[in-house]
Structure 1
Amino acid sequence: MLAKAWCQCWMQKPQFLSFLRAITTVPHTFLLTDSLYLKNRELHALIKRRDLNAALPLFHSMLLRDTVTYNLIISGFREQPEYALRFYAEMGSLGIGESSTTFSSVVAVCTNAAFFREGVQVHCRVVKLGFSCNVFVGGALVGFYTRMGLSGAALALFDELPERNLAVWNVMLRGLCELVRVKVEDLLGFYSRMRFEGVEPNGVTFCYLLWECCKQRRLHEGKTIHGCVWKVGLVESDVFVANALVDFYSACGCLVGARKCFEAIENANVISWNSLVSVYAENSFLREAFEVFSVMQLWGRRPSIRSLVGFLNLCSRSGELCFGKQVHCLVMKMGFDEGSVHVQSALIDMYGKCRDIEGSVAVFECLPKRTLECFNSLMSSLSHCEAVEDMVELLGLMVDEGLVPDEVTISTTLKALSVSALASFTSSQSLHCYALKSGLGGHAAVACSLMDAYSRCGHVDLSHRIFESLPSPSAICYTSMINANARNGMGKEGIAVLQAMIERGLKPDKVTFLCALSGCNYTGLVEEGRVVFESMKSLHGINPDRRHFSCMVDLLCRAGLLYEAEELLLRAPGKRDCFMWSSLLRSCRVHKNEEVGLRAAQVLLELDPGDPAVLLQASNFYAEIGKFDESRQIREVALARKMTREIGHSLIEIRQ
């Protein structure tokens, strides 16, 4: 019995020892876990301070790492996407499972770096591990696909999410705003759907909506959003929304609304003041802009780049070189002439538009670093001063310095060459080849410039070929094609392009109709011209201006419809135009209409009696109808004033 008891005791001893071993190993595991926790906290502190040079050695020295460790290091290297994805791959190779934070960070890295293939691979792993319904991961994927331009995929993912918070709605709204052809009505419908699901908007939501209304100049819809902003109480509490309202009203030309929104801000910051200054400057209200600019500085607010660029652009439009030089002095005093590419480009452009090309070149040569934007500004200045040969030389200098010309460079050069004495089919072809080689041939600005250049050389068939190669031509491209047809006497083809443009849902503007009327004028399409002219107001809500009336009067005059032309001329807006009456008088001489011609000659002499061309035209008309006394009196007046006509010049290209 004793032996049996001893055996039983011996058999129970290993169990006691294993229990003791378990007790002694548990504190060791706790120690490792506690050490990992402390290391992760230390790593988090270093990454929060953006001290990656210290964070990386700490990461590599850690013997034990978990999901939190890799989440921290991936988020720390989000601005270096190659390293971030390398850490994510290492995490997978070690068998460490991802969390929702991991996927959100990695998708954000792929979004910011435009890594499409890698982002799709991460999406596949999200689906495989069942994180598709996670609101944070889903929101990151929605943002990824909208940034890649795949709005359909983004909307599909958005609709599949079982739960959508405000951040996801704002991400989707931002993606819709970044689309080229988004309609404000669709955005407002999306906003209504958001409110219907019980999600309350914030300032970011309204900023996106106002931004789109600002881009499309939709005053009525923007006022509706303004009412919603006022209702939720963000006008006074959110300065960013208040600034967005100021920008919106200024873009729509409603300066009273912009001023009221600014005055409603209790604590206007630097952005608010500079927004109002730029609003007045962009709308050519120099006195008001300068007044706000002065008060801003009295309140201790520092002018920003936006204000200075607004003043410089105003000087460019108005030709105020003296005031532009004063702004230049302020720019140098504040140090923006060396630190801001926008200010440098605006300075070069200002001197060029004021026809002080020496000042423009001087600013360019003093730059600490020559950027592509500054090259483009100088090329635009040279084009404005008609220095085309210098433009071509500057293009070569740009390439020599290792800068790659963009669509602005090619478009500016083409426009300058097409209207200069150096215009030739060969030069247009050379730039066309370069644009195709550099992948810029499909850009709208380059395509329009090419269509214009080829049509000026008489090769309208090449303009048609470029237009047809565009996958989605804009309204500007359609206008360029209509103008190319008009320039080459193809009025019916231009009308057909205008009709196709309207059927596609694109809205023609004043320039579009002017090009179409010019084509009718050159081709003698009277009835088609009448239809186009009348449809401007009745169908498209566009009031014809002086240019449209002038084109239509010239069309009627060429067709001999002088009474109708005179009636239309009397309806023209603004002051009576000397050129239109001169066209009418010239047609009266051709068609032998003495009655209308006498009235036209009388009006011309009243409008511009100091123009020698007007006096000569009226004198010749009176002589042709037998009123020699009136003709002689007009010539005597011209001789007494010692008036002489300018001698015209013409240029032709000789092929050798």
Structure 2
Amino acid sequence: MRNKLPIVSFARSIFVTHYSHKCQHQILPLNFCPVSNYNNICSLNKTLHDLLQCGSLTSALHLFEEMPKRDVVTWNIMISGYSHNRFPRKSLHLYNKMVSQGIKENSSTFSSILSICGNAGLYKEGIEIHSRVVVLGFSMNVYIASALVNMYIQMGLRDVAFKLFYDLPKRNLPVWNLVLRGICELGGSSTEFLRLYSDMKLENVEPNGLTYSYLIHGCCKKRLLDKGTQLHSHVIKTGWLESNVFLANALVDFYSACGILVDADKAFECIPRQDVITWNSMVSVYAANDLFHEAVRVLGEMRLWDKRPSAMSFIALLNLTSRRKELLLGKQMHNFVIKLGLDYGSVLIQSALIDMYGKNHDIQSSITAFQCTRETSLECCNSMMTSLLHLGFFQDVFEIFSRMVCENIVFDEVSLSSTIKALSLLSTPNLDNCALLHCCAIKSGFDSDSVVLCSLIDAYSRSGHLRFSQQTFEALPSPNIIGFTSIINAYARKGMGSQCLAVFAEMIQKGLKPDKVTFLCVLLGCNHSGLVEEGKKIFEFMRTFHEVYPDRRHYSCMVDLLGRTGLLNEAEELLMSASSSGDSIMWSSLLRSCRIHQNEHVGRRAAKRLMDLEPEDPSFWLQASNFYSEIGEFETAVYIREVAVARKMSRDIGYSLIRVHEFH
């Protein structure tokens, strides 16, 4: 009797406290006691389960510890209870304690603990439990096998998951849905995806709405338009479309991802207007495809139907205004966000607002949005840093990064690469600062991140330490096009054209396709090294072989290269073949080369074209005046200068970077 009173008293207090206040659906009398017999495990298990359902984990734990006897159901209830309260490691500890006390698991124990291990990433422990499943003969249990399949899919061991799945003597619909969900979410290949669907039909397993949702989601990720369209037909025939709104939403996402917005709109029209999820999906779809008017139209219809737009809709619209540089629309969206009360508490909206104002060159509003955030978050800091970087406020980027470090805000690769980029764009990047940020990258685990390392390559080369750029490039685990372009640009900056061409050839051998920036860096390397023939070949190579069509930067680089080496007629022909026959910068470069090589004929044409292109810019007119003065046509030189003065042109006074010190 000594053990009876404490547990009776404890159980009575639990029911009075929790069932009369928290579980108001079941009011029990105060004199009720569920443990008139402390050996009644079933009654105590029921109490334990109800306490956990009410969210009273502490009280449930006290009751569990006071129980004189526990069976496997008791342990299962507590293991699941810890899991539902997001304590997976405590669930695992409880499971180990149960096994050590000689209590044998049942199918519920294994399915529960394996699901916990899979969802919490406790894979090593899950594999150990799998061994115990085999030893105790539970391998063919469909519920346990489902949990094992889910765990191995999350581990990325698809072959193991498929073997377990196909070894089952009978596969029911929930197991098929589980495997389809795992393959869709983790981006399995289209072959795996279609094979599963074919095998499912061969086994005469009838799909439900959830199955079709996963299948269409898989087609969406893989852009399988034909297969997705066939599934749409099956969905209509089986009648699932009218009864499953999630399936209808999946069709909207599918056609949007495949770029068939007409069919996406048709799928949207079939969905009942009370479904707010689809409204928000359509706003996001139109905004993501730069369909400004359609996105605003759907937003207006939402308001007419008295539907509340979600945060994701506004984020999509704010991102659209950032891309389109629509500041006025962005401000209107901001007012709408404030009216709905979404501006506080939503980190993603605050981040999108900071980015929108920054991309629209309204830095003051961007800073104001940043300062209005309730708490400094990683997303808002990143948006503020990229906005400052975009507008050339490099020193302020360092201040934001320093604030993150001081306030213990964990930075990511975006924060770090933005800071390194700001450092590289300063007039004189400091090697010590480059090394310090490199150390931050190593300590924070970003020493193998390609974006961070590419920013470091650029920063080191700009600081004049090409050796460190080379070492950083060699540290890239698998150099991509950005990495190769960064090191080519570093060599080009130092006038090492031969090295640029060698790295470019290595990149081509690896099967990487160069883009416009890559070709521009190679041409700059040829330009700074005087490699004329090589530059010509690269310029032709980009158009004929890679179908990368040159823009004004490539033409400008080639005109400068040909002009430096005295090939002025070729430079003029190339310039005339450029779109709009070149711009003032290119003609200015050609005229400068004509002055150096004393070519009067090409120089006259270049001077005339330059003055026609820039009738209001004094610097170009003075350049033309100086050219005529150098070839001895002083009257023409004076006339050009007088015309400039008559148009009230004035030349900006230059400045020197040399400091003047006064000595007293």
Q: What's the TM-score, normalizing by structure 2?
A: 0.79
Q: Which amino acid aligns with 2:459?
A: A
Equivalent of 2:220, from 194, 210, 219?
A: 210
Identify the residue that residue 412 of structure 1 maps to in structure 2. 418
Q: What are the residue-to-residue correspondences of 1:597-636 with 2, within 5 Å?
A: 597-625=603-631, 630-636=636-642
Equivalent position SS for 2:200: coil
- In the alignment, residue 197 of structure 1 is paired with which amino acid? D
Does residue 1:74 correspond to 2:110, yes or no?
no
Q: State the alpha-carbon separation in 1 of the partners of residues 337 and 265 from structure 2.
A: 26
Which sits farther off after the overlay, 386-395 or 425-434?
A: 386-395
Matches within 5 A, 1:19-34: none
Aligned partners of 2:220 and 2:257 also within 8 Å: no
TM-aligned CA distance change 1:637 to 1:230, over 3 Å: farther
> Bigger shift: 330-339 or 119-128?
119-128
Deviations 1:117-149 (A, max 9, x none): 32332233334334455555455445434544x
Q: 2:126 aligns with which of 104, 112, 119?
A: 119
Aligned to 1:170: 180
User: Structure 1 225/583 Cα, relative in aligned 2: closer, same or farther at 3 Å?
Assistant: farther
Matched residue, 1:84: 91
Task: Report the number of matched residues.
Answer: 605
Aligned to 1:194: 196
Query: How far apart, CA to CA, are the structure 1 residues paired with 2:112 and 2:544?
Result: 54
Measured after TM superposition, the shift of residue 419 of structure 1 is: 0.9
Q: Is the 8 A contact 1:280 1:288 kept in 2?
A: yes
Question: Structure 2 vs 1, CA of residues 101 and 547 (structure 1 numbering), >3 Å: closer, same or farther?
Answer: farther
Q: Does 1:457 align with 2:475?
A: no
CA distance in 2 between partners of 1:171 and 1:490 (Å): 52
Deviation at 1:453, TM superposition (A): 0.6
Contact 1:315 1:323 (8 Å CA) reproduced = yes
CA change 1:93–1:464 in 2 (3 A) is same
Whether the 8 Å contact between 1:337 and 1:344 is mirrored in structure 2 is yes
Residues 1:138 and 1:453: Cα distance change in structure 2 (over 3 Å): farther
Residues 268 and 562 (structure 1 numbering): CA distance in 2 closer, same or farther, change over 3 Å? farther
1:395 aligns with 2:401: yes
- Distance in 1, matches of 2:301 and 2:378, equals 36
**What is the CA–CA distance in structure 2 between the aligned matches of 1:623 and 1:608, rounded to whole Å?**
20
Runs of 5+ in structure 1 lacking a partner?
A: 1-30, 178-185, 214-220
Q: C-alpha offsets along residues 434-478 of structure 1, whole Å, 9 cap, x if unaligned?
A: 222232222222212111110111212111111212223333323
Structure 2: gaps (5+ residues): 1-35, 202-206
Distance 1:131 1:284, change over 3 A: same
The alignment partner of 1:337 has SS state of coil
The Cα offsets for residues 597-632 of structure 1, whole Å up to 9 and x where unpaired, read as 444444433333222233233334444455555544
- 1:395 is paired with a residue whose SS is helix
**Shift of residue 588 of structure 1?**
3.6
- 1:454–1:460 contact (8 Å) kept in structure 2: yes
Aligned to 2:479: 473
Correspondence for 1:343: 349
Separation (CA, whole Å) in 1 of partners of 2:463 and 2:337: 44
Deviation readout 1:297-348 (Å, 9 max, x if unpaired):
1122211112222333344445544443333332222222221111122223
Deviations 1:66-109 (A, max 9, x none): 44443343233222112211221132123333344433332332
Q: Distance in 2 between matches of 1:648 and 1:475?
A: 40
Asked whether the 8 Å contact 2:428–2:463 carries over to 1, the reply is no
Identify the residue that residue 500 of structure 2 maps to in structure 1.
494
Find the residue that maps to 1:434 and give its secondary structure.
Answer: helix
**1:4-83 paired onto structure 2 within 5 Å:** 47=52, 52=57, 55-57=60-62, 59-60=64-65, 65-78=70-83, 79-83=86-90
Q: Do the aligned partners of 2:457 and 2:468 also contact (CA within 8 Å) in 1?
A: yes
Distance 1:408 1:650 in 2: 36
Q: Give the aligned CA root-mean-square deviation in angstroms.
A: 3.8
Report the CA distance shift for 1:63/1:209 in structure 2 as closer, same or farther (over 3 A).
Answer: farther
Matched residues in 1 for 2:615 and 2:410: separation? Answer: 54
1:308 and 1:331 in contact (8 A); partners too: yes
Alpha-carbon distance between aligned partners in 1 of 2:257 and 2:581, rounded to the nearest angstrom: 28
Take 2:556 and 2:351, find their aligned partners in 1: how far apart are those partners? 37
Structure 2: distance between partners of 1:537 and 1:310: 36
Taking the TM superposition and a 5 Å limit, the aligned residue runs for 1:454-603 are 454-573=460-579, 576-603=582-609
Q: Judge conservation of contact 2:149–2:164 (CA < 8 Å) in 1.
A: no
Residues of 2 paired with 1:347 and 1:262: CA distance? 28
- 1: CA distance, partners of 2:233 / 2:543: 37
The answer (yes or no) to whether the contact 1:143–1:175 under 8 Å persists in 2 is no
Q: Does 1:645 align with 2:651?
A: yes
Of 154, 157, 161, which aligns to 2:158?
Answer: 154
Q: How does 1:269-418 map to 2 (within 5 A)?
A: 269-282=275-288, 284-418=290-424
Question: SS at 2:90's partner residue?
Answer: helix
Which of residues 426, 438, 441 in structure 2 aligns to 1:432? 438
Are 2:220 and 2:255, in contact at CA under 8 Å, matched by a contact in 1?
A: no
Q: Distance in 1 between matches of 2:600 and 2:310?
A: 64
Query: Are the counterparts in 2 of residues 138 and 158 from structure 1 also a CA contact under 8 Å?
Result: no
Q: How far off is 1:431 after superposition?
A: 1.5
**Structure 1: how far apart are the matches of 2:554 and 2:548?**
11
Q: Percent identity?
A: 48
Q: Structure 1, residues 213-253: CA drift from partner, whole Å, max 9, x if none?
A: 4xxxxxxx443454344343379556556655655666677
SS of 1:198 mapped into structure 2: helix
Distance 1:475 1:63, change over 3 A: farther
Letter matched to residue 499 of structure 2: E
Contact 2:625/2:638 (<8 A) preserved: yes
Does structure 2 retain, via aligned residues, the 8 Å contact 1:250–1:279? yes
More moved, 387-396 vs 418-427: 387-396
The verdict on how the C-alpha distance between 1:139 and 1:622 changes in structure 2, with shifts beyond 3 A counting, is farther
Query: CA separation of 1:487/1:253 partners in 2, compared to 1, >3 Å: closer, same or farther?
Result: farther
3-state SS of the aligned residue for 2:615?
Answer: coil
Worse overlay, 569-578 or 251-260: 251-260
Residues 277, 292 of structure 1: 8 Å contact kept: yes
Task: Assess if the C-alpha contact under 8 Å between 2:345 and 2:374 holds in 1.
Answer: no
